Structure 1
Amino acid sequence: MSNPEEEAEIDATPENIRIRAWAKKDPNTEWVHQDWDMEVAQAKYADLILSLVEEDCPQSDFFVSCLYLLVGSYFTTNGKSISRNQIDELLSQGEQSKNQNVQHWVNRSRAFLLNPEKFGRNSWAEGGWALDEHIWRLPDEERVAIIEEITAAFHGVPRGEITLHEADVWDNYGSEEEAEQARSLDTDNCWEDIPETWIEECSSALPFLDPQSWRYYIPAYMIWTLKNYENSDSIASEWTVYTFCMLNRSKHEPDSKENDPERFQQLNQKQSAAVYLFLKYMGEHYLDAAEEAIQQYWKKFSPAE
C-alpha cells in the first residue's frame, strides 16, 4: 500500500487535477469531448472516481456512471482494461461507503459478475445501470433495491441436506425412491442458478426443507416473488410469505419443518434485515400475512429499530 505522501503525489498529477476540476462543474456542463466518460473510466483513476462519488460532488452522477463503465469494461476487454482483482478490491472499498449510489453499484456489480447474462450488457457497458427489462420486469426502483439487498445478504449461502425437487416429492407424499430420483434434478451450484421454472413447479416445497436448505432456497423464492407476484398464477408467492409466519401447521403436516424457530435462527442480521424489507414491501402491496409476520417476529430487524 502507498503511504499518504505517495497518494498525495499521485492525486496531484495533471490528469487527476483535470478530473477534479471537472467534478466541481455544474451537472449540465458540456463534456470535454464525446468520449470523456471513456477517458475517465480507467483503472488508474478508479480510486479517484470512487472518492468523488462519495464526496457527492456536482458531477456525482457522471462518476457513478464511470464506476459502472469500469466493471463493464472487464468483460468488454476480457480483463485487459482492468483486472478482476482490481475490481474486487474496488468493490471491497465501496462496501465501506455510506453513499447509496455506491452501495447500489457494489450490489449490482456483484450480481453482474456472478450472472452477466442476466443483465443488458450493452446498457451496462455504456455506463447504464438498468437491469435487463425482459428478465427482471420490475416496474419500480424499490423492488430493485430490495432484490439487491437479498442478493448481497445471501451470497455464498451453502445448500443443506434436502434439495428442492426432493422437498417437492415429500410435499406430494412421494416415496424415498422418488425423492432420491428427484435429487438428481437439482444441479444448481448456488441459489442464483435456480431457474424460475423450478420455483413455479415446486411452489409449496418450502415447508419440507431442512433449516440450512431453507436458508439456501429462500432468497431465490423472495426474488421470484418480487418479480412475479403480479403476473403469475403460481402459489409460490403466497408460500414464500407464509414461510416467514409463526404459524403451527404440524397437526396438518406432520412432516413439515416449517416454522421451526431453528429456521429463522439460521439467518444472520443482514439476511434477516433483507427478509424484513421483503415482507414490508409485500405487506404494503400484496398480502396482509406479510405484515402479520413482521409483527410476530421480523420487526426487530427493521432499520428503524
Structure 2
Amino acid sequence: MQVCPVCFWEDLPSERFCFGSLSVEAAQKCFFEKGACEGRYRDAVRAPLSEEARSPVWLSYEDLRAGIIRWIEIHFEDVTRDGGTTLHQMDVLDDYGSPGDLAEAAKLDNERTWQEISDLKLSNFACSMVFLNANGFRFYLPAFMRFTLANWADGASTCENMGVIYALSGGPGGFHHEAFESFSRFQMEAVSAFLWYIANSNDSMAEDAESSLAYGWGKFLPDFVRLFSESFSNSL
C-alpha cells in the first residue's frame, strides 16, 4: 500500500478503483474542490513535483463516464423500436393482460426515438426489463444505460440501475441473447464499457457487473476504456 503525498489517495492494487468507501470519481471531485481526496487530509498533502505533472491526455473518471455516455449515444443513435414491446406493455405482460390491454398500453409509449424517453418514465420502469422482446430490449437498453450513468452516485444502488445491470447478466449469451445477436460490434462495446464503469465503482452492483464482464462482455471492451484501465495510476 502506498499513500500519495499529493492527494492522500491510498493505492490498494487488490481493490477496484476505490479507497475504502470512496471511489476514484468521488475522490477526484474532492481533490479538485479541497486539494485532497478527502477534506480531512488537506493538511497532510503537498504540491506536486514537476515530474508528477499529469499527462496531457489524462482523463478524470468523470470524463470517462461522459465518454461512455457519448459512445452509447453515437452507436445506438438510429435504433428504433420496430414493433417491439413497450414499457407499459411490459407491465401488462407481467400481469397476464389481454391483447386489448396490450393495445391500450402501447398508446402510452408513443416515443419515436429512445432519446425522447423521459427520466421519470425510465425511473418508473427500470426495475425489470425481462418482459421486453428483442426489438423492445434493443430500443430501451441505451436509454436505461445512459440514464443510469448520467444519474450515477456511488453506493446508491436503486431500482433505477439494478434492472439494467441484471438484464445484462449472463453475458451476451444470457436471457436477452436474441437481442444481442442483432447488435453491432460498437453497440456491444457500449454495453461492455457501461458494465466496466459499474464494475469499478464503489457500489453494491459492482460485483454483478464484474460477473457479467467475466461471462463474455469483457471481450468487447472498447480501446478507450481499455487504455484508461491499463494506464490509470491511481493518482488523482
TM-score bracket for the superposition, by shorter chain length? 0.5 to 0.7
User: How far has the Cα of 1:172 moved from its partner?
Assistant: 3.9
Which string of whole-angstrom CA distances, capped at 9 and with x for unpartnered residues, describes residues 269-292 of structure 1? 000001111000011113210110
Tell me which of 124, 132, 145 is aligned to 2:67: 145
Q: Could you state the TM-score of these two structures normalised by the residue count of structure 1? A: 0.48
Q: Could you tell me how far apart the structure 2 residues matched to 1:237 and 1:191 are? A: 17
Superposed, which structure 2 residues align to 1:174-253 within 5 Å?
Answer: 174-230=97-153, 234-246=158-170
Q: Which runs of 5+ in 1 are unaligned?
A: 1-99, 101-138, 248-257
Q: Could you tell me how far apart the structure 2 residues matched to 1:205 and 1:195 are? A: 17
Q: Which residue of 2 aligns with 1:268?
A: 184
CA RMSD across the alignment = 2.3
* 1:171 maps to 2:94: yes
Query: Is the contact made by 2:192 and 2:222 (CA closer than 8 Å) also made in structure 1?
Result: no
Question: Taking every aligned residue pair, what percent have the same amino acid on both sides?
Answer: 29
CA radius of gyration, larger in: 1
Aligned length: 158
Q: Could you tell me how far apart the structure 1 residues matched to 2:122 and 2:163 are? A: 11
What is the letter of the counterpart of residue 112 of structure 2?
Answer: N
What is the letter of the counterpart of residue 155 of structure 1?
Answer: E
Tell me which of 289, 292, 299 is aligned to 2:208: 289
Query: Is the contact made by 2:193 and 2:222 (CA closer than 8 Å) also made in structure 1?
Result: no
Superposed, which structure 2 residues align to 1:2-13 within 5 Å?
Answer: none
* 1:300 maps to 2:219: yes
Q: Could you tell me how far apart the structure 1 residues matched to 2:150 and 2:175 are? A: 25
Looking at secondary structure, tell me which structure has more helix per residue.
1
Which string of whole-angstrom CA distances, capped at 9 and with x for unpartnered residues, describes residues 64-120 of structure 1? xxxxxxxxxxxxxxxxxxxxxxxxxxxxxxxxxxxx9xxxxxxxxxxxxxxxxxxxx
Q: Could you tell me how far apart the structure 2 residues matched to 1:233 and 1:293 are? A: 17
Superposed, which structure 2 residues align to 1:63-212 within 5 Å?
Answer: 140-160=62-82, 161-212=84-135
Which contiguous aligned blocks of 4+ residues in structure 1 show a shift greater than 6 angstroms? none
Q: Could you tell me how far apart the structure 1 residues matched to 2:126 and 2:152 are? A: 12
User: How far has the Cα of 1:177 moved from its partner?
Assistant: 2.9
What is the letter of the counterpart of residue 164 of structure 2?
Answer: T
User: How far has the Cα of 1:173 moved from its partner?
Assistant: 4.0
Q: Could you state the TM-score of these two structures normalised by the residue count of structure 2? A: 0.61
